[in-house]
Amino acid sequence: MNFIKIIVRLNLFVLLSSCYGQNSPPPQNGEEKTYYPDGTLLSITHYLNGKKNGESITYFRNGKIYSDIHYKNGNFFDITKWYFDNGQLNHEEYWDSNGNEQGDFKIWFQSGKVSQEGFFVNGLIIGKSIQYYESGNIMSIYNYDRTGKKDSIWVYYSDDKKIIRREFYKRDSLVKTE
């Protein structure tokens, strides 16, 4: 499982875990609403045949949307969006009907500036992925081969645009650092 999947799923687990114990089990079919202990709406999720199906919206305590996720047969499907508690978009990616990330993904800082961008094919980051400082300067450029393994040159920069180091990879193995 790649780093982004782990972060996204961990964030959702932490948010929901504090509240699930006080709610009834999810329905086989229909809509489920969960609530924070104080009665504030936490989430609205739709089920079909016991699996998440359709739109699922999770809210921060302040009422703003935390995540807007679509499911198909229990898997993420279509565009998924995650937000900061100020309403700013945090993370956006597309999932296919098999539950794999596909195409462009972006992650933003709370300020609205891009933090990271890359490209998925069948759940693997492929090609170039760029990570930014909040100033907008490039922090690092990563390259992955068509199987999702580290490949080619990885370059790390300081916020003042100086190269800190270069790493050379071949099929996920570090070959050289300079």
User: In this predicted structure, what is the pLDDT of residue 4?
Assistant: 52
The DSSP secondary-structure symbol of 12 reads: H
Buried b (16+ CB within 10 A) or exposed e, 10-45: ebbeebbeeeeeeeeebeeeeebebebeeeeebbeb
pLDDT in tens, 81-126: 999 999 999 999 999 988 899 999 999 999 999 999 999 999 999 9
Write the single-letter amino acid at 9: R
Query: Domain segments of the chain: what residues?
Result: 1-96
| Mean pLDDT (the chain, rounded) | 88
- Only one residue has tokens 């693997």, namely 124
pLDDT in tens, 119-146: 999 999 999 999 999 999 999 999 999 9
User: In this predicted structure, what is the pLDDT of residue 23?
Assistant: 54
The answer to whether 49 touches 64, Cβ cutoff 8 Å, is: no
Q: Quickly list H helices, 94-159.
A: none
